[in-house]
Amino acid sequence: MTFDTKDEAYWTSLLVAVGTDRDRAAFEQLFRQYGPRVKAFLIRTGLTPGTAEDCMQDVMVTLWRKAHMYDPTRATVATWLFTIARNRKIDLIRKIRRPEPEDLPWGPQAEPEQSEVLALRDDSRRLAEAVAVLPEKQRDLIEKAFFGDLTHSEIAAQTGLPLGTIKSRIRLAIDRLRHAMDTDLQGTAQR
């Protein structure tokens, strides 16, 4: 069967072939079609050409490794790849912004002022009280995300909840916590 090379069904069939059969020829065609486009996208979004090339290579390796996870009913090949590229770029930026251990301060630190210690202790107590009164579903997710240090994807895998539900509940919980902390601060200031 022959396909027009611009037909989405053609690219989908290639990606499915990579996922099911580890088809190297299909991968090569996908790489030639989408590699330059992904690199151009990354450059347009602010990466240097060298960094965009590295990131594009990582995206294409991800295509090879995770092609079996592609669901053509949820996204086109291009959408799937550009989403991976966007996420890789975000990860790269976070990594760049993370300080190196040698850049972190070390040695004796000045003792904080007693008022700062008391304010921090008070804030911690108020936050713990606000978390305690959250609805159980929100509280559980907040504890997993912030105290358990789990990513949203890890929480989804652990709980079986959809990723969107987890993000919505956490966002609602944070809004409630912010409101509770602001209200508590306003009440303290009025006393």
In terms of domains, do 130 and 89 share one? no
In terms of domains, do 47 and 126 share one? no
Task: Give residue 47's domain range.
Answer: 8-97
Domain count, the chain: 2
The CATH number of residue 139's host domain is: 1.10.10.10
Question: For residue 127, is it within any domain?
Answer: yes
Q: pLDDT for 148-177, tens place per residue? A: 778 888 898 888 999 999 999 999 999 998
In terms of domains, do 15 and 86 share one? yes
How far is C-alpha 174 from the chain's CA centre?
Answer: 17
In terms of domains, do 134 and 61 share one? no
In terms of domains, do 77 and 125 share one? no
Q: pLDDT for 1-46, tens place per residue? A: 344 456 889 999 999 999 999 999 999 999 999 999 999 999 998 8
The CATH number of residue 76's host domain is: 1.10.1740.10
Quote the pLDDT of residue 1.
38
The CA distance from 185 to 104, in Å, is 32
Q: Which residues of 108-145 are buried (b: 16+ CB within 10 A; e: fewer)?
A: eeeeeeeeeeeeeeeeeebeeebbeebeeebbbbbebb
Question: For residue 19, is it within any domain?
Answer: yes
Q: pLDDT for 93-110, tens place per residue? A: 887 776 666 666 666 667
The mean pLDDT value for 85-94 works out to 88
